[in-house]
């Protein structure tokens, strides 16, 4: 709900449990008052505003009459440079005179319904507050937008600039929002990473100065995700105050947190001001991408849940809104480039028997693509590998009873390709310089409408050539040699943003033409895991790293902002191709199951043991798919602090939950683990664990104490038995009331301690795990 109080000129934005308040001060600046837990009625607003009575030595006062009013020590809704605010500004403009001083003042406001910004990913909105500010001298209008997602406890912000000069102005920086608050010894949580180590959580104490995370890579990057969370030192997953922010954009970004000399904290976020110089012609406007903001006083998991709900309800395409996602098999790690139709069909046949629903044909199906040196850009099928083309293989896969999907990397081109030979000017490069390559490839200039037209036609032809239900859209290198032969000298500083708008233009077109294709975004795993892509593509390939242990870190970090329905996970072979680590097959599944499940190994070569185990995994996933893709996630414990991570997903009715318990390395005699669950609906609950199977090879020479027969360790017979024998782990079957579960906690069986095992002992090797199922019993004693 958005309300305006005429008396004190204040705006109150209320969500279900938060309030955001600001007002127009005497100088007509927008001054921030409050963002936090809901306050229905704020009385005496001015009593809560930090305001100096006198000028501070060496500082600059905004006006002679009111020396205590210094912009550097005022909580502002937007800031510019030039009138005494020395903190990181949200906006920095160069005016026709060459001056960079601007000063925007309130002019008017209105509530807009169903506001939509053309050509950009954004929250699908209902009610938005638009506040118009004007710098009369600069002849520039600035609109601030505040959309309230009441149910989700999220406020969405962005801005629009309009140049009213007769001449052009230059935007040096235009961030989407800022939030000024007073310091409470805040800590900063961010998601840092690299390829195969994406979005690991790091938490820092903040001190005076500026912390910036950004991307200059041309994509939102795996180095830092465009997400930040500010928390008080005592805040944890379940208690305390936290504010999160996430940007709806896929290109270069910056996010800053600054604490100035007097403990004023400023957070801002938006398009990176580095290598951005955007001339705005007379009458032209510039719209910044949106930022989602959420506060909670019940810990970080709640902030995450707000984002998850907002994304699932308002960012994901309505065609896929809360729609269950298929279980797929992808042939990449099974075959890499080395495949033919026979190999693919062998995998697909086994996939069908296992209960898998979709087959995705990955890289290597087109032109002469047998390694990563050639053919990107030439999106026609390789006749040797696919004699009857994409249509032929798709029909065969469909006949087996599976849907068909295909991999593409449309933004890229190899120098060894027909496309590059025909149009070298379409690739990004600086004339006269040798371009730097990444994975042997170059990037197409999406700021050029001709390139976009070519891609639209080519991809339209490909996607309509067969019964394609799913597309994996990859992007495997960062941008370098930034220059567009299509743009004039003055416009080169627009390149990065125009590239991203160009990408969005193509995606707008394709998602409209093919509304039923499920797109999965990918960028060497998670190099572009952001809300901009999520607007067009309901799910994202989380990381090329499928090692279950690494995935716990990656998925835990990713879930800080992104919902399970977006997080695509695969069970791959042993050992992990990225780390050479062995993790149990059941653990690979247990972790991958928290999100959108797939398999990526040569299913045609599974042992009997693996086949039977996977088959049961898929039955379990299908039974609980809604919960695992759309349930409310709580991170109850983290491997960052303890020897285990515990994740819980619960349904909306709060009468069913699944819990993952994932152990790091085995510690001898660790004592008992207990799980403190979130509050369930009142009632009696049955607690079981997912039936899991262990490969008896894990027991080493102890095998002869486990099996009724004696076998030679590492002998052929043991191998044969191990590849077939399903050793069932302990089973839990308990009944507890909701109060017991909440207050007495769920007690797990003790783990194997070297002295013996029976049905009440958890045999958990390194990286072992379990999934527990908690479900309310039907009340049979109803009167
Ligand atoms: C990237 C993706 C992988 C795979 C390969 C194919 O690395 O992340 O999943 O598709 O490209 O080249």
| Grouped pLDDT means (10 residues each) for the chain, 783 residues | 95 98 97 96 89 94 94 97 97 98 98 97 97 98 98 98 98 98 96 98 97 98 98 98 98 98 97 98 98 98 98 98 97 98 98 98 98 98 97 98 98 98 98 97 98 98 98 98 97 98 98 98 98 98 98 98 98 97 98 98 98 98 98 98 97 98 95 92 97 92 78 86 93 95 94 90 96 89 46
Task: Using the atom order of ligand 1, give the atom closest to the CA of residue 522.
Answer: 8
| Token digits of residue 389 | 């083309």
Count of residues making up the chain? 783
Active site includes 47? no
Within 10 Å of residue 138's Cβ, how many Cβ atoms?
24
**Burial of 671: CB neighbours in 10 Å, binned 0-12, 13-18, 19+:** exposed
- Asked if 224 and 189 touch (Cβ cutoff 8 Å), the reply is no
| Token digits of residue 154 | 């999220």
- The rounded distance, in Å, linking the Cα atoms of 723 and 585 is 13
Q: Which of 222, 363, 572 to mutate to test the pocket of ligand 1 (most atoms within 8 A of CB)?
A: 363
pLDDT at position 472 is: 99
- The rounded distance, in Å, linking the Cα atoms of 76 and 315 is 28
How far CA 305 is from CA of 42, 127, 153, 692, 768, in Å, comes to 27, 21, 9, 29, 27
pLDDT at position 783 is: 42
Residue corresponding to tokens 């009610």: 127
Of 730, 727, 726, the closest CA to residue 689 belongs to 730
Pocket around ligand 1: residues whose beta carbon is below 6 Å from it? 332, 362-363, 407, 474, 476, 522, 524-525, 541, 544
CA-nearest residue, atom 6 of ligand 1: 363
Question: Which position among 474, 505, 530, 547 bears the catalytic label?
Answer: 474
| Token digits of residue 340 | 């033919």
Task: Using the atom order of ligand 1, give the atom closest to the CA of residue 523.
Answer: 8
pTM of the predicted model as reported, rounded to 2 decimal places: 0.98
CA-nearest residue, atom 3 of ligand 1: 524
**Burial of 7: CB neighbours in 10 Å, binned 0-12, 13-18, 19+:** exposed
Element (H, E) at 105: strand 105-113
- The rounded distance, in Å, linking the Cα atoms of 151 and 306 is 9
How far CA 334 is from CA of 272, 363, 467, in Å, comes to 39, 12, 23
Of 260, 224, 293, the closest CA to residue 18 belongs to 293
Within 10 Å of residue 366's Cβ, how many Cβ atoms?
24
Give just the sign of the alpha carbon dihedral 312, 318, 323, 329: negative
Q: Which of 373, 409, 522, 529 to mutate to test the pocket of ligand 1 (most atoms within 8 A of CB)?
A: 522
- How far is the centre of ligand 1, averaged over its atoms, from the C-alpha of 346 (Å)? 21
- How far is the centre of ligand 1, averaged over its atoms, from the C-alpha of 476 (Å)? 7
- The rounded distance, in Å, linking the Cα atoms of 75 and 469 is 50
Question: Which position among 362, 378, 530, 544 bears the catalytic label?
Answer: 544
Of 352, 383, 355, the closest CA to residue 370 belongs to 383
- Asked if 680 and 652 touch (Cβ cutoff 8 Å), the reply is no
Active site includes 474? yes
pLDDT at position 780 is: 54
- Asked if 457 and 410 touch (Cβ cutoff 8 Å), the reply is no
**Burial of 183: CB neighbours in 10 Å, binned 0-12, 13-18, 19+:** middle
- How far is the centre of ligand 1, averaged over its atoms, from the C-alpha of 600 (Å)? 12
CA-nearest residue, atom 11 of ligand 1: 524
- How far is the centre of ligand 1, averaged over its atoms, from the C-alpha of 496 (Å)? 24
Q: Which of 476, 546, 598 to mutate to test the pocket of ligand 1 (most atoms within 8 A of CB)?
A: 476
CA-CA-CA-CA dihedral for 665, 667, 671, 674, to nearest 10 = -10
- How far is the centre of ligand 1, averaged over its atoms, from the C-alpha of 570 (Å)? 13
CA-nearest residue, atom 1 of ligand 1: 524
Helices (H), 86-240: none
Residue corresponding to tokens 């009440």: 760
pLDDT at position 468 is: 98
Task: Using the atom order of ligand 1, give the atom closest to the CA of residue 525.
Answer: 8
Q: Which of 336, 475, 542, 544 to mutate to test the pocket of ligand 1 (most atoms within 8 A of CB)?
A: 544
CA-nearest residue, atom 8 of ligand 1: 524
- The rounded distance, in Å, linking the Cα atoms of 458 and 451 is 11
- How far is the centre of ligand 1, averaged over its atoms, from the C-alpha of 501 (Å)? 24
Within 10 Å of residue 20's Cβ, how many Cβ atoms?
22
Q: Taking the mean position of all CA atoms in its chain, how far away is CA 761?
A: 37
Task: Using the atom order of ligand 1, give the atom closest to the CA of residue 600.
Answer: 9
Q: DSSP letter at 742?
A: H
- Asked if 374 and 414 touch (Cβ cutoff 8 Å), the reply is yes
Determine phi and psi for 228, rounding to 5 degrees.
-140, 150
- How far is the centre of ligand 1, averaged over its atoms, from the C-alpha of 655 (Å)? 39
Within 10 Å of residue 696's Cβ, how many Cβ atoms?
21
């Amino acid at each position: 709900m958005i309300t305006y109080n005429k008396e004190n000129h204040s705006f109150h934005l209320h969500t279900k449990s938060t309030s955001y308040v600001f007002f127009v001060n005497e100088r007509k600046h927008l001054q921030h008052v409050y963002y936090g837990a809901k306050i229905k009625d704020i009385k005496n607003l001015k009593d809560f505003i930090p305001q100096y009575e006198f000028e501070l030595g060496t500082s600059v006062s905004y006006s002679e009459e009111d020396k205590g009013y210094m912009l550097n020590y005022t909580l502002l809704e937007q800031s510019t440079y030039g009138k005494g605010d020395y903190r990181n500004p949200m906006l920095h403009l160069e005016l026709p005179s060459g001056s960079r001083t601007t000063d925007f003042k309130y002019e008017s406001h209105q509530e807009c319904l169903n506001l939509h910004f053309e050509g950009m990913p954004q929250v699908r909105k209902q009610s938005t507050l638009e506040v118009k500010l004007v710098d009369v001298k600069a002849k520039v209008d600035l609109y601030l937008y505040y959309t309230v997602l009441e149910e989700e406890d999220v406020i969405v912000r962005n801005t629009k600039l309009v140049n009213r000069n007769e001449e052009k102005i230059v935007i040096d920086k235009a961030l989407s929002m800022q939030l000024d608050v007073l310091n409470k010894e805040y800590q900063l949580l961010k998601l840092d990473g690299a390829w195969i180590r994406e979005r690991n959580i790091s938490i820092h104490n903040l001190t005076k100065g500026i912390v910036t995370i950004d991307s200059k890579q041309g994509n939102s990057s795996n180095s830092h995700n465009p997400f930040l969370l500010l928390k008080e030192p005592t805040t944890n997953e379940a208690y305390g105050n936290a504010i999160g922010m996430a940007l709806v954009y896929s290109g270069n970004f910056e996010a800053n947190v600054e604490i100035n000399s007097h403990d004023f904290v400023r957070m801002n976020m938006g398009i990176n001001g580095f290598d951005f110089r955007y001339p705005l012609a007379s009458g032209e406007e510039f719209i910044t991408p949106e930022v989602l903001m959420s506060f909670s006083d019940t810990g970080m998991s709640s902030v995450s849940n707000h984002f998850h709900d907002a994304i699932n309800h308002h960012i994901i395409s309505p065609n896929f809104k809360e729609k269950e996602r298929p279980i797929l098999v992808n042939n990449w790690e099974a075959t890499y480039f080395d495949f033919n139709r026979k190999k693919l069909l062998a995998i697909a046949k086994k996939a069908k028997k296992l209960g898998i629903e979709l087959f995705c044909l990955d890289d290597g199906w087109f032109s002469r693509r047998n390694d990563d040196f050639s053919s990107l850009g030439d999106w026609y099928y390789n006749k040797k590998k696919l004699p009857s083309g994409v249509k032929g293989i798709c029909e065969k896969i469909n006949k087996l009873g599976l849907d068909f999907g295909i991999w593409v990397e449309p933004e890229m081109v190899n120098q060894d390709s027909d496309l590059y030979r025909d149009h070298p000017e379409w690739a990004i490069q600086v004339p006269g310089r040798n371009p730097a390559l990444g994975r042997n490839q170059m990037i197409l200039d999406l700021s050029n409408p001709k390139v976009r037209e070519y891609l639209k036609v080519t991809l339209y032809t490909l996607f309509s050539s067969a019964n394609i239900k799913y597309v994996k859209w990859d992007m495997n290198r960062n941008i370098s040699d930034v220059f567009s032969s299509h743009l004039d000298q003055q416009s080169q500083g627009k390149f990065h943003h125009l590239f991203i708008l160009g990408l969005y233009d193509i995606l707008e077109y394709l998602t409209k033409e093919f509304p039923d294709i499920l797109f999965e975004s990918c960028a060497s795993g998670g190099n572009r895991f952001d809300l901009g892509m999520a607007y067009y593509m309901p799910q994202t390939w989380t990381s090329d790293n499928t090692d279950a242990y690494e995935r716990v870190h990656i998925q835990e970090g990713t879930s800080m902002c992104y919902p399970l329905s977006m997080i695509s996970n695969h069970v791959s072979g042993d050992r992990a191709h990225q780390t050479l680590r062995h993790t149990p097959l059941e653990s690979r599944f247990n972790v991958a199951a928290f999100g959108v499940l797939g398999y990526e190994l040569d299913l045609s070569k599974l042992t009997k043991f693996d086949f039977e185990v996977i088959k049961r995994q898929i039955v379990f996933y299908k039974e609980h798919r809604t919960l695992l893709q759309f349930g409310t996630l709580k991170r109850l414990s983290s491997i960052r602090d303890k020897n285990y991570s515990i994740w819980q997903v619960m349904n909306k009715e709060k009468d069913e939950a699944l819990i993952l318990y994932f152990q790091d390395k085995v510690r001898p005699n660790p004592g008992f683990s207990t799980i403190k669950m979130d509050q369930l609906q009142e009632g009696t609950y049955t607690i079981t664990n997912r039936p899991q199977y262990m490969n008896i090879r894990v027991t080493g020479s102890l095998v002869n104490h486990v099996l009724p027969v004696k076998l030679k360790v590492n002998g052929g017979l043991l191998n044969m038995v191990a590849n077939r024998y399903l050793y069932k782990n302990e089973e839990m079957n308990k009944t507890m009331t909701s109060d017991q579960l909440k207050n007495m906690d769920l007690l797990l069986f003790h783990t194997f301690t070297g002295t013996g095992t029976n049905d009440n002992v958890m045999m958990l090797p390194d990286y072992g795990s379990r999934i527990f199922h908690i479900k309310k019993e039907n009340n049979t004693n109803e009167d």
